[in-house]
A = this chain, B = another copy of it.
Amino acid sequence: MRLVLAAGATRTAEIEGISAAGATRELMAHTPAIDAEIVAYGRPITGEHVPVSPTGCPTPAVLTRAVREAVGFDLTVVDAGLDAETGAPTVGVDARPGRDVRDPIAVPDADEILATAREFGRALPDDELLIGETIPGGTTTALGVLRALGEDVGVSSSLAENPTDLKRRVVADALAESGVEAGDLAGDPIEAVRRVGDPVLATVAGLAIGAAAAGTSVTLAGGTQLLAAAALVRHSGITLPLSLATTAFVDEDPNVDLDAAAGAFDLDLTVTDPEFERSNHVAMDRYVAGEAKEGVGAGGALALAAEAETPMRAVRGRIEAVYDRLDVGADASASGGSGPEDSGGADGGA
């Protein structure tokens, strides 16, 4: 079992109020790079900054790493347009950070990225793949792609209060600037990503298409961004089996009708509840309050743990251990009060 983690950036995350994935623009740019390091090594290695929300909710990379330590799985990080260097080993797909979704063209090389990722997905020798993402601002571009494709699916947020009005305004502007009306790009997934998507969506869709075509069992590991990726696959005319594994936090989100979406995109759905309400550890209580919810493949990782019959109690214990190793408290006090700081990798950081 391998998790392929697509890590990248979109300038959309820099829109005021749309993403809280970092105390500063500079820190936010590092979130996907650090998420990758946490899953790869168990802690950040190119710096001390740990992505946490203003209230101390840690990046879901902590959940994914905890399951990796408990159950064991291979990891391949794909540089799907990272804005910062990462100490995690990466495979390239010639992606650069995406532009602001309101630019007429958000991902100029969407076609090439998708094709390169498809070939890589096809080449991977694994029987089963999880595919996850980390990109601040990613739920907004996911919403843009869903609208362009004409899919009426809501998107989640890493914030307890989803800034849905702002996202809708941004997406309306994005469609207008791109000269696209909702549904115009049904059946044209590459153009949808090029106009109003992000490079991670192109990468995830390409990986899924290539791997599924090679007979690999593909599980999209995440929330509404992965639903957008599934929509891209389906709008490519591909009917091969696809699964989606996410957390109970996404399932409980009133902004998303997960079952309807899974039905619409013919996804075999797995929802895993890590029962964080049984803990009052700081690493978990903000999830219970509705923050973060997903990201960095966490839902897929939790499904793996359940499948391996690892008790959720053991997973929670491991999450505490990973979190404590990160020394978030020291980091939070160092940057305390300087501004919002969020999980970023969490289902879009927006």
Interface residues of A (CB under 8 A from B): 40-43, 45-46, 72, 76-77, 87-91, 120, 123-126
Contact = CB atoms under 8 A, between A and B. Distances in A.
Contacts of A120: 45, 87
Is chain A's binding surface mostly helix, strand, loop or mixed?
Answer: loop
- Listed residue (A42, A45, A124) with the most chain B CB atoms within 10 angstroms of its CB: A45
A91 B123 CA distance: 20
Nearest to A79: B89
A87 B45 contact: no
A71 to B, nearest CB: 12
A193 to B, nearest CB: 23
Given A43-B125, A46-B123, A72-B72, A89 B87 contact: no
Number of copies: 2
Contacts of A40: 76
A89 B76 contact: yes
Contacts of A90: 89-91
Contacts of A88: 89, 91
Nearest to A47: B123
Nearest to A123: B45
Contacts of A87: 91, 120, 123
10 contacts: A40-B76, A42-B125, A45-B123, A45-B125, A46-B123, A76-B89, A77-B89, A87-B123, A88-B89, A90-B90
Nearest to A75: B89
Contacts of A124: 41, 45
A77 B72 CA distance: 19
Contact of A125 (B41, B89, B91, B123): B41
Given A40-B76, A45-B120, A45-B124, 11 more contacts: A41-B124, A45-B125, A72-B72, A77-B89, A87-B91, A88-B89, A88-B91, A89-B89, A89-B90, A90-B90, A90-B91
Contacts of A42: 125
A125 B326 CA distance: 11
Contacts of A43: 125
A99 B282 CA distance: 53
Contact of A89 (B41, B46, B91, B123): B91
A90 B43 CA distance: 18
A223 B249 CA distance: 52
Identify the interface centre among A45, A88, A89, A120: most chain B CB within 10 Å of its CB: A89
Contacts of A72: 72
A214 to B, nearest CB: 11
A304 B124 CA distance: 27
A110 B251 CA distance: 53
Contacts of A125: 41-43, 45
A37 to B, nearest CB: 9
